[in-house]
Amino acid sequence: DAGITQSPRHKVTETGTPVTLRCHQTENHRYMYWYRQDPGHGLRLIHYSYGVKDTDKGEVSDGYSVSRSKTEDFLLTLESATSSQTSVYFCAISPGQGGQPQHFGDGTRLSIL
Amino acid sequence: AQSVTQLDSQVPVFEEAPVELRCNYSSSVSVYLFWYVQYPNQGLQLLLKYLSGSTLVKGINGFEAEFNKSQTSFHLRKPSVHISDTAEYFCAVSGRNTPLVFGKGTRLSVIA
């Protein structure tokens, strides 16, 4: 959808290991976002980017870092994964904020044992 | 800061019956409002959006929503639902230069 690819789609790992999730877009949109989705919480913003090397924190940024070295790629890193970070992670893109809708990837299901 | 409250976590409805999914928002500034749908094991898809102008907004799949500024609401409606409408629905709000804030979702179950 809307030229967004998330990888991997599924991952199982152990507590304490580093994990990197990748979001790749082909739409040349300025904004990219990382959300996590948990039952009863809806979608919560982790971090977002408004350009190459320009990022900002969201509502639940603790324990996560991001990087954007190219317009098309936005990486989410869990430096030392914890079981509380087991979730479904979604990437989204948009050309701008305000009234511009976001388009979502298909998600990455991450399980931390 | 904006916030969104979806008043029902689950809504069961019989096929071909009408449905309303309720959404209230809070914001001290002008807002933009959205409804998204999520089918199982998929990402979110935009159903409709309100930016300005007419308060009745029509979206895809026969859905519509009405923006009510005095009630700070943006309820989603469909006059006759189908089995295929079974999904989770999210209301979201943003300000002029802020990211989307999502509600916790309403799970619509259509019963044959």
DSSP bridge pairs for B21 = B76
**pLDDT of A1 strictly over 60:** no
CB of A9 less than 8 A from some CB of B: no
Q: What does the H/E/C string look like for B2-64?
A: CEEEECCCEEEEECCCCEEECEEEECCCCCEEEEEEECCCCCEEEEEEECCCCCEEECHHHCE
Across the interface, of A58, A97, A101, the residue whose CB is closest to B34 is: A101
Minimal Cα distance from A57: which residue of B? B99
pLDDT of residue A2: 64
Q: Which pair of tokens denotes residue A58?
A: 């969201």
CA distances from A73 to A19, A29, A104, B30, B91 (A): 16, 11, 14, 32, 27
| Residue whose token pair is 């979206």 | B59
Among A23, A84, A42, A103, which Cα is nearest to B101's?
A42
Taking residues A24-41, what's their average pLDDT?
A: 95
Place B31 in a pLDDT band, splitting at 50, 70 and 90.
confident
Q: Nearest by CB to B42, which of A45, A98, A106? A: A106
Mean pLDDT of B48-72: 93
* Res B52: pLDDT: 87
Question: To the nearest whole percent, how much of chain A has pLDDT over 90?
Answer: 90
Q: Is A42 in contact with B94 (Cβ distance < 8 A)?
A: no
On whether the CB atoms of residues B36 and B92 are closer than 8 A, the answer is: yes
**Phi and psi torsions of B87, nearest 5°:** 180, 180
Structure-model confidence comparison of residues A22 and B95, the more confident one = A22
Q: What are phi and psi of B71, to 5 degrees?
A: -95, 0
Q: Collapsing DSSP states into helix, strand and coil, what is residue A84?
A: helix
CA distances from A48 to A110, B8, B12, B22, B89 (A): 19, 29, 35, 28, 23
Residues 6+ apart with CB under 8 A from A50: A30, A31, A56, A97
- Over residues B39-56, the pLDDT tens digits come to 988 899 999 999 988 899
Q: What percent of chain A has pLDDT over 70?
A: 98
Q: What is the pLDDT of residue A55?
A: 97
User: Which of B100, B101, B104 would you mutate first to test chain A, the one with the most A CBs within 10 A?
Assistant: B100
| B75 — pLDDT class (breaks 50, 70, 90) | very high
Checking if the pLDDT of B82 tops 70, the result is yes
